[in-house]
Amino acid sequence: MKVLILAGDGIGPEIVGQAEKVLDFVAKKHALNISVDRALIGGIAVDETGHPFPAETLEKAKAADAILLGSVGGPKYDLLPRNIRPEQGLLAIRKELNLFANLRPAQVFKELSHASSLKDELVAGLDIMIVRELTGDIYFGQPRGIEERNGERVGFNTMIYSESEIRRIAHVAFQAAQKRNKRLCSIDKMNVLEATQLWRDVVTEVAAEYPDVELTHLLVDNAAMQLVRAPKQFDVMLTGNIFGDILSDEASMLTGSIGMLPSASLDENNKGLYEPIHGSAPDIAGKDIANPLATILSVGMMFRYSFNRNDIADEIENAVKTVLSQGFRTKDIATKDEKVIGCKAMGEAVLAALNA
């Protein structure tokens, strides 16, 4: 198993450092042959090579089985031309590796349900997985542009999905549902958009191959409403790129803990890029106060989805639950009466829980 580590900018090196300790620990414990390589991405890559996604990083990323990424960006780079901003590194790696399936869990750990903007009883125990198509839809469709028509400017984009694009992401979602509570809700806007009528038709066809998974469909506006009305009704939600962009942010904010949420972006062979959903948090970088748990949980997802080791993924998730129940909190998830520890100490607490 070849893992490439891209620590990136801001708090990236701090949080990835703790996640790497967890990776080392489980590799030794289970006698796994994991080789780790490192490369540059984002602002640090701009500083050292002039480009946010250097050719050497692409080579190493292609050779890896899985990639662990910290975060990229920061105010230092805000004035750079758009094509060499750190975020371009992220877009480039997703595109170059054809990472079309984005998996974003929104999970509320019971000790943290008070952090949500919704009432405790609505979110306690919440555990949703959003499967978002990441390389198609209106973001990439042609034609697109802004042009002069009839004496005024007109802006336009094209929502487009091919049958094969829908089919491959539907398989990912059904298989994710099989590993969970076997319920899949597919999101579309078939009442007005033909592209999403096809989406619904193809997802329904694929369902025939997964008789153990219960499939439902919801229009996107209703889905947005249901997510804040009764989010626990969902198990896996399947969406196209633009609807998923919005709904996955809505779902993650229900948890109230941006420092807790991991993500995976997978290709057709389950090679994956794993990263926390948060950014580089420049306001707290270098202070040893960042929460490393989202990155540690991203390592858990790596074992679940790229290495097919649900047992190790469960071990890591259980270790995180243990440290929360022991009362350990980084600053972002602490309430007044709890003991606040730093990034390194949180990493050590997870190692201790894994060791117990």
Q: At what angle do helices 293-305 and 12-29 cross, to 10 degrees?
A: 40
Residue 51 or residue 200: which is nearer to ligand NAD going by CB? 51
Altogether, the residues listed in the chain come to a count of 356
If the CB atoms of residues 13 and 141 are measured against ligand NAD, the closer one turns out to be: 13
Catalytic residue among 2, 65, 127, 139, which?
A: 139
Q: Minimum distance between the CB of residue 29 and ligand NAD, rounded to whole angstroms?
A: 25
Radius of gyration of the chain (CA): 20
Inter-CA distances, 3 with 33, 42, 81, 250, 295, Å: 11, 18, 31, 31, 14
In Å, how far from its chain's centre is CA 304?
14
Q: Which of 21, 60, 189, 271 is catalytic?
A: 189
Structure tokens at 80: 């750079």
- Residue of 245, 321, 331, 344 with catalytic role: 245
Q: Shortest gap between Cβ of 274 and ligand NAD (angstroms)?
A: 11
Catalytic residue at 245? yes
Binds ligand NAD by CB under 6 A, chosen from 259, 272, 300, 347: 259
Is 9:339 a contact under the CB 8 Å cutoff? no
Residue from 65, 87, 214, 267 binding ligand NAD (CB under 6 A) = 87
Residues 260-289: x where in contact with ligand NAD by CB under 6 A, - otherwise, as a string = ---------------x--xxxxxxx-----
Residue 186: alpha-carbon gap to chain centroid: 18
**Is 249 annotated in the active site?**
yes
Please report, for residues 184, 230, 324, the alpha-carbon distance to residue 233 in angstroms, rounded to integers and kept in the order given: 11, 6, 25
Q: Least distance (Å) from ligand NAD to the CB of residue 275?
A: 6
Provide the β-strand partners of residue 130. 104, 237
Site for ligand NAD, residues 326 to 345, rule: CB under 6 A: 332
Count residues binding ligand NAD (CB under 6 A).
Answer: 22
CB 217, CB 72: distance < 8 Å: no
211: DSSP letter: T
User: Which positions from 44 through 73 interact with ligand NAD, judged by CB under 6 A?
Assistant: 71-73
CB atoms within 10 A of CB 129: 22
Site string for ligand NAD, 134-153 (x = CB under 6 A): --------------------
Say whether 245 counts as a known binding-site residue.
yes
Q: Confirm or deny that 82 is annotated as ligand binding.
A: yes
Residue 284 annotated as binding site:
yes
Residue with tokens 């031309």: 81
The binder of ligand NAD chosen from 74, 105, 136, 300 (CB under 6 A): 74
Strand partners, 349: none
Instruction: Output the CA–CA distances (angstroms, integers) from residue 282 to 16, 75, 80, 258, 286, in the order listed.
Output: 15, 8, 17, 15, 9
150 labeled part of a ligand binding site? no
- Return residues touching ligand NAD (CB under 6 A): 11, 15, 71-74, 87, 90, 258-259, 275, 278-284, 290-291, 294, 332
Active-site positions read: 139, 189, 221, 245, 249
Annotated binding-site residues read 74-87, 94, 104, 132, 221, 245, 249, 279-291
